[in-house]
Chain A
């Protein structure tokens, strides 16, 4: 899967979980850029992404990403 497609699908997951259609993620987006994205909803996002791509993140990874791009990297590594 193309990296851009992964980003697009992750964007859809964010819209659904955070219930906000205006979200437009880029590699450099962080939790500060998205109002509803906090430590609690982060967990929901993680679980939804895991389910969508049928992957499991390592415990360490879950809090390690500095931005969306790093999260996408973790995903693409696993689905390659």
Chain B
């Protein structure tokens, strides 16, 4: 990781062309270095963070005063850092009874702060959790004394998580975990605190800024979606082609343990929605053998969405995986024990993330934990189904080869779609799709769970979500259209996005037929569309043109009265 000093040099570079995001930073200790470090870290991730930094120790004033600088600034993100150190100073001064409610009181203060922000801004809140301080007044016995600082601090971190569960726009930045990782004496330097009121040491700043940045990137859809794995000496010890299935190292003995535990980690990622792919220099049947027959393998063939084993160049194989999955290289991570392979992949596909795995497989996990590669800002129970969906997609591709006529193929799929407005059941998936979709996304507006709820109750909006199911399986909710009444004649298409899994299935036609029908029913004359270009949504540049919209005043218009229903092979469920 770059040092603070190296990062600071970014501040003199040209930020033009980077994504502008307005961020407010409020702290109960000095935050100047943190602000600089965050802006500098943002530069490396393609962001121009415009930061408003409140004067020292003004959190309550800024948040609770309606016309404060905070509200004038109108940030998209508010970062709040209330430190453990200041909490301890407060604790020192109060009596036993108040000590017992230290955590509860902090949570009720937080409740007021978050309420106030949410009533005045439509912004996301990033709140630092509390790094541990053991004031050693009770020793380990503190864990049996409810009024001890240690007890209250740990309770507070737990209550913070519960608070986060209740507030969709509130996100905890886990700096407590960073302190565990880099050690307390690195995180905090008393001499610097005494002289400056700064509680995060210069060495810890890049870690804290990165953790914050990971969350910010996830807000804007920059997340990892796929993990590509080498096999020999990455998933198991030894070389399957040479050593044979009896001799590879996996299981509960010796170094085998390390690989088993590593596989459990990968399995958890898969269950939480990360797509797994294999890219190995091997004969395919040999490479698959452990997955099928080895009793200690945690990962099974079912867990792998795309399995590529051959003797070709790995960069080419990864390109093949990418074309099947249809997601950006920048959302992929490639793990390989061989430095030469890593180097080839990195040189040929610079966007992909290729961690420098440590030489000793026993160190893989701790190293990968420290990188925090898989930050996210949403999770829904269906995420675990994703691998299955990509596997069925691979089957569809094979089926398609049997047909020479595209229409015959589409007809053979028996496609049905369930069309529904936003509701409390689909809200997490809807929010997630608005955050994840980059390619088939006309305006790339991101919404959080709470935005979706707000829109669902706003009668100037009309929302439509679409699922797509066929004889191979259910793709789930894959398309969202959000319409806003601009005037009594015009419906503006605020959002039209679709998962790339269902490209070329006629879903665009079905969607348009559906929303034209809705527009007519509600008495509108025009559908008005807009394409806002991003580096990633080239594929929909001519979307409205292709669907018969006419260009006017920089927008696209469709007269719903003269619309002729488009052909498609999807029926309404």
What chain B residues lie within 8 Å of A17 (beta carbons)?
5
What chain A residues lie within 8 Å of B12 (beta carbons)?
19
Interface check B307, CB cutoff 8 A: no
What chain B residues lie within 8 Å of A59 (beta carbons)?
190-191, 194-195
- Provide the bound-state CA to CA distance between A21 and B194, in Å: 31
Interface check B128, CB cutoff 8 A: no
For chain B residues 1-55, which have a beta carbon within 8 Å of chain A? 4-5, 8-9, 12, 32-33
- The minimal Cβ–Cβ distance linking B81 to chain A, given in whole angstroms, is 18
Interface check B192, CB cutoff 8 A: yes
Q: Scan A37-58; emit 1 where CB is below 8 A from any B CB, else 0.
A: 0011001101110000000111
- Provide the bound-state CA to CA distance between A39 and B8, in Å: 16
Interface check B570, CB cutoff 8 A: no
- Provide the bound-state CA to CA distance between A67 and B202, in Å: 23
Q: Scan B184-195; emit 1 where CB is below 8 A from any A CB, else 0.
A: 000001111011
Chain A residue nearest to B195 (CB atoms) is A62
- Provide the bound-state CA to CA distance between A39 and B190, in Å: 17
Interface check A24, CB cutoff 8 A: no
For chain A residues 22-74, which have a beta carbon within 8 Å of chain B? 39-40, 43-44, 46-48, 56-59, 62-63
- Provide the bound-state CA to CA distance between A19 and B12, in Å: 10
For chain B residues 136-189, which have a beta carbon within 8 Å of chain A? 189
Query: Could you tell me if A47 and B189 are in contact, using CB atoms closer than 8 angstroms?
Result: yes
Contact of A62 among B5, B191, B203 (CB under 8 A): B191
What chain A residues lie within 8 Å of B201 (beta carbons)?
47
What chain A residues lie within 8 Å of B203 (beta carbons)?
47
- The minimal Cβ–Cβ distance linking A49 to chain B, given in whole angstroms, is 12
Interface check B223, CB cutoff 8 A: no
The answer to whether A43 and B198 touch (CB under 8 A), given A19-B12, A57-B191, A59-B190, is yes
What chain B residues lie within 8 Å of A40 (beta carbons)?
32-33, 196
- Provide the bound-state CA to CA distance between A3 and B6, in Å: 28
- Provide the bound-state CA to CA distance between A19 and B13, in Å: 13
Chain B residue nearest to A51 (CB atoms) is B203
Contact of A43 among B8, B9, B195 (CB under 8 A): B195
On chain A, the number of residues with a Cβ less than 8 Å from chain B's Cβ atoms is 16
Interface check A16, CB cutoff 8 A: yes
- The minimal Cβ–Cβ distance linking B196 to chain A, given in whole angstroms, is 6
What's the interface size class on B, roughly? 10 to 19
- Provide the bound-state CA to CA distance between A17 and B4, in Å: 10
Query: Could you tell me if B5 and A48 are in contact, using CB atoms closer than 8 angstroms?
Result: yes
- Provide the bound-state CA to CA distance between A63 and B192, in Å: 10
- The minimal Cβ–Cβ distance linking B111 to chain A, given in whole angstroms, is 34
Query: Could you tell me if A44 and B5 are in contact, using CB atoms closer than 8 angstroms?
Result: yes
For chain B residues 298-342, which have a beta carbon within 8 Å of chain A? none
What chain B residues lie within 8 Å of A48 (beta carbons)?
5
- Provide the bound-state CA to CA distance between A57 and B8, in Å: 24
- Provide the bound-state CA to CA distance between A44 and B5, in Å: 8
Query: Could you tell me if A63 and B189 are in contact, using CB atoms closer than 8 angstroms?
Result: no
What chain B residues lie within 8 Å of A16 (beta carbons)?
5
- Provide the bound-state CA to CA distance between A17 and B5, in Å: 6
- Provide the bound-state CA to CA distance between A77 and B5, in Å: 26
- The minimal Cβ–Cβ distance linking A22 to chain B, given in whole angstroms, is 16
What chain B residues lie within 8 Å of A63 (beta carbons)?
195
- The minimal Cβ–Cβ distance linking B207 to chain A, given in whole angstroms, is 15
- Provide the bound-state CA to CA distance between A57 and B201, in Å: 15
What chain B residues lie within 8 Å of A43 (beta carbons)?
33, 192, 195-196, 198, 202
What chain B residues lie within 8 Å of A46 (beta carbons)?
192
- The minimal Cβ–Cβ distance linking A14 to chain B, given in whole angstroms, is 12
The answer to whether A47 and B195 touch (CB under 8 A), given A19-B9, A40-B33, is no
- Provide the bound-state CA to CA distance between A47 and B250, in Å: 46
Q: From B4, B196, B201, name the one whose CB has the most chain A CB atoms within 10 angstroms.
A: B196
Contact of A44 among B4, B9, B191, B194 (CB under 8 A): B4
- The minimal Cβ–Cβ distance linking B281 to chain A, given in whole angstroms, is 43
Q: From A39, A43, A48, name the one whose CB has the most chain B CB atoms within 10 angstroms.
A: A43
What chain A residues lie within 8 Å of B8 (beta carbons)?
19
What chain A residues lie within 8 Å of B198 (beta carbons)?
43
- The minimal Cβ–Cβ distance linking B4 to chain A, given in whole angstroms, is 7
What chain B residues lie within 8 Å of A44 (beta carbons)?
4-5, 202
Chain B residue nearest to A40 (CB atoms) is B32
What chain B residues lie within 8 Å of A39 (beta carbons)?
196
Chain A residue nearest to B193 (CB atoms) is A59
- Provide the bound-state CA to CA distance between A63 and B191, in Å: 10
For chain B residues 196-218, which have a beta carbon within 8 Å of chain A? 196, 198, 201-203
What chain B residues lie within 8 Å of A19 (beta carbons)?
8-9, 12
For chain B residues 232-291, which have a beta carbon within 8 Å of chain A? none
- The minimal Cβ–Cβ distance linking B345 to chain A, given in whole angstroms, is 34
- The minimal Cβ–Cβ distance linking A13 to chain B, given in whole angstroms, is 10
Chain B residue nearest to A13 (CB atoms) is B5
Chain B residue nearest to A16 (CB atoms) is B5
Query: Could you tell me if A47 and B194 are in contact, using CB atoms closer than 8 angstroms?
Result: no
Contact of A56 among B4, B32, B191, B194 (CB under 8 A): B191
Query: Could you tell me if B202 and A47 are in contact, using CB atoms closer than 8 angstroms?
Result: yes
What chain B residues lie within 8 Å of A58 (beta carbons)?
191
What chain A residues lie within 8 Å of B202 (beta carbons)?
43-44, 47
Q: Can you list 10 A-B pairs with a CB-CB distance of less than 8 A?
A: A16-B5, A39-B196, A43-B195, A43-B202, A44-B4, A46-B192, A47-B202, A48-B5, A56-B191, A59-B195
| 10 closest A-B pairs by CB | A59-B191, A59-B194, A47-B202, A62-B195, A43-B196, A63-B195, A17-B5, A40-B32, A43-B192, A62-B191
Residues of A bordering B, CB below 8 Å: 16-17, 19, 39-40, 43-44, 46-48, 56-59, 62-63
**Given A44-B5, A58-B191, 16 further pairs, Cβ under 8 A:** A19-B9, A39-B196, A40-B33, A40-B196, A43-B192, A43-B195, A43-B202, A47-B189, A47-B192, A47-B201, A47-B202, A47-B203, A48-B5, A59-B191, A59-B195, A62-B192
